[in-house]
Amino acid sequence: MYGENVTDGVWQTVWGGVDAGTDPAYSTCDSPTLRTLDHCPLRLRPHHPRILIFDYTPSSTHCVFQQLSPTQPKVVMMMGTCSTPPPFLLLLMMGVCVGVVEGWGSVEHLARAHSLDTIIVEHLKTYLRQHLQEVDLRNNFTRMLPTHLLQGVVKEVAEDPVLSLVTTRRLAKDWPVPLEVQKQEENKVLESQEMETSDVISSTPRDKQVLSLLCRGHTLLTASESSHLKCHVGSRGSPWLRLMPVKVEEHSLDPAILSFHDLFLPHQLAVLRQLSRPLLEQARVQGADKSLTYMYRSSYNAWLRGPTHPVVRAVNHMIAALTGLEMDEDKEEAELLQTNLYGAGGHYIPHMDFLALYRSLWESDNPVEKLMKEFPNGDRVATFMIYMNKVEEGGRTAFPRVGVSVEPREGSAVFWYNLLPSGKGDLRMLHAACPVLRGTKWDVPQTVSTSCCITTFKLTNSVLGFVLHHVQLVHLMNYQYCTVPFFSWFNYKKFEVQCSCVVTQSPQYCTSIVLYSTALSS
């Protein structure tokens, strides 16, 4: 239960509410809670009644009321599915309200009708779930609820009395790298490969400590590591991009983390945002307790089906051209295009994007078969994440085990592989969406699956056969449209070699592998 009044001289926020998790009555429109304001104390000041945001979404965690200064537009928003609960009618009669808002579309409609900045409306829609104690109309991040999982990451910034762009930047620049982090750097890759991955949210204390730095824009790469990184213009081996080379920025070489800049036009991004808005729902986390999901990942997301719009198809086409990975949705190689919207405080705690999280799977007798049974479309080879808007502050994508973070830039994208060539998840690729400190963040974290085929074959002939085969596989790995092929499993039994091979992506590649291995084993 919250009931705190906070006054900063300009505007006042009155918090009230019950936790949906602990009060089942709150989760229905018939709830007595909705008929009374007892649990949501509303104290409008006569000289300040400018804004009221009332979250009645059944799953909402809090009732939120805000009043702004007289200079702010007068607006009352009501989020959720209950159309006209009594308290709202009461407020209408008091002349405070301008409309009822049901769902995303209506929020926009209301905003247009009252000439509100739709960006502001986006903020209103999202911040309610972002665990912030206070947010003003411009969505400035001020204080976080103590339960926020990334509390530590933003603590220093959040507790700064004057939270301004300048302050945030200064903190980011001057923040010293703690000595123990520097020391641990030397072993970072080895160490991370040994970590347990039994849980989707597993990250070590060190990961969190590093994250705190990365979210402020630090890099933990050494000067020598950084000196090998380049920015260049290239076509990535794609004939299609030869006429339209793209700007590539290297953030890390091993593992590879690349940014592509100025990739999408503002109107394409606007279309993606527009297509997403009516479909937005609380984002989920695979395997996580549903009611806790928002603690791990506090964004809204929408799934866009490729054929529905030429822009969606164009995006998939661009990803395929840049990565060499196939993006045919019908063949399940690409998941549906997912768009994500984070409000102030919005974040995604450190996680891996690959699916076969459990080490036990790889230690079992026939991991490849198990993998394909559990995840028939294969695992997620890579992630290609597009940033769809300019984030005013915060919202970097951080890779604590690599020691780099990527700034979200409108129209840019970041790309990394989630799997090692063996097909196992690359534990170095733990990453997080740093909390948005100011504004909103829209992105498209598109994952690409292995799909294609598995082939299992035996080589009984000779060691020479095995060596030849190996050489051939390495040769095939360089196949232009098959960036991440794997030959994952070699079991020596006397001179019998059994290979299972999860082959990714290119049908040509699969065919060659199958033909070649058949020839060798016959």
Ligand X SMILES: O=C(O)CCC(=O)C(=O)O
- The secondary structure of residue 449, as a DSSP letter, is E
The residue among 136 and 353 lying less far from Fe ion, judged by its C-beta, is 353
CB-nearer residue toward Fe ion: 382 or 513: 382
Window contacting Fe ion (CB under 5 A); options: 141-149, 185-193, 351-359, 447-455:
351-359
> What residues between 288 and 347 interact with ligand X by CB under 6 A?
340
What are the φ/ψ torsions at residue 319 (nearest 5 degrees)? -60, -45
- Tell me phi and psi for residue 442, to 5 degrees: -110, 130
Closest alpha carbon to 82 in 127, 35, 44:
35
State the nearest-atom distance from the C-beta of 315 to Fe ion, in Å. Answer: 18
CB contact set of 305 (below 8 Å; sequence gap of 6+): 312, 329, 336, 337
Does the protein bind Fe ion through residue 379 (CB under 5 A)?
no
Distances (CA, A) of 375 to 144, 173, 206, 381: 37, 43, 31, 13
Nearer to Fe ion, 31 or 299 (CB): 299
Taking the least distance from each CB to ligand X, the nearer of 348 and 487 is 348
Binding residue for ligand X (CB under 6 A) from 65, 141, 260, 348? 348
Site string for Fe ion, 303-342 (x = CB under 5 A): ----------------------------------------
* Residue number with CB closer to Fe ion (207 or 353): 353
DSSP assignment letter at 329: G
Task: Decide if residue 443 touches Fe ion (CB under 5 A).
Answer: no
Q: What is the rounded (10 degree) CA torsion for 28, 32, 37, 39?
A: -80
Helix axes 507-521, 463-477, angle to 10 degrees: 170
Q: Which one of Fe ion, ligand X, none is in contact with 433 (Cβ closer than 5 to 8 A by kind)?
A: ligand X
Query: Measured between alpha carbons, how far is 367 from 261 in angstroms, rounded to an integer?
Result: 38
Q: 397 or 505, CB closer to ligand X?
A: 397
40, 121, 433, 452: residue in contact with ligand X (rule CB under 6 A): 433
Using the rule CB under 6 A, which residue among 80, 367, 445, 485 binds ligand X? 445
Under 8 Å between Cβ of 230 and 250:
yes
Under the criterion CB under 5 A, does residue 353 sit at the interface with Fe ion? yes
Smallest separation (angstroms) from ligand X to the CB of 297:
7
Contact 347, 127 (CB under 8 A): no
Whether the CB-CB separation of 351 and 387 falls below 8 Å is answered with no
> Residue 207 binds what, of ligand X, Fe ion, none (CB under 5 to 8 Å, by partner type)?
none
For ligand X (CB under 6 A), the number of binding residues is 8
Question: Is residue 353 part of the contact set for ligand X (CB under 6 A)?
Answer: yes
Closest approach, Cβ 283 to ligand X, in A, equals 8
Phi-psi region of 488 (alpha: psi -120 to 50; beta: other; left: phi over 0): alpha
CB of 345 within 8 A of CB of 434? no
- For ligand X, which residue of 126, 397, 440, 505 counts as binding (CB under 6 A)? 397
Which of 407, 261, 286 is CA-nearest to residue 338? 286
**Shortest approach of Fe ion to residue 425 CB, angstroms?**
12
CB-neighbour burial class of residue 204 (10 A; exposed 0-12, middle 13-18, buried 19+): middle
- Kindly tell me which residue out of 82, 220, 443, 457 binds ligand X, with binding defined by CB under 6 A: 443
What's the CA gap between 262 and 22, in Å, rounded?
47
Q: Which is nearer to Fe ion, 122 or 353 (CB)?
A: 353
Compare residues 15 and 348 and give the one whose CB is closer to ligand X.
Answer: 348
Which residue's CB is nearer to Fe ion, number 333 or number 353?
353
Q: Which does 397 bind (CB under 5 to 8 A by kind): ligand X, Fe ion, none?
A: ligand X
The closest alpha carbon to 65, from 5, 119, 107, belongs to 5
Between 163 and 398, name the residue whose CB sits nearer to Fe ion: 398
- Give the Cα separation of 16 and 140 in Å (integer): 20
Binding status of residue 440 toward ligand X by CB under 6 A: no
The binder of 379, among ligand X, Fe ion, none, by C-beta within 5 to 8 A per type, is none
Residues that bind ligand X (CB under 6 A): 340, 348, 353, 397, 431, 433, 443, 445
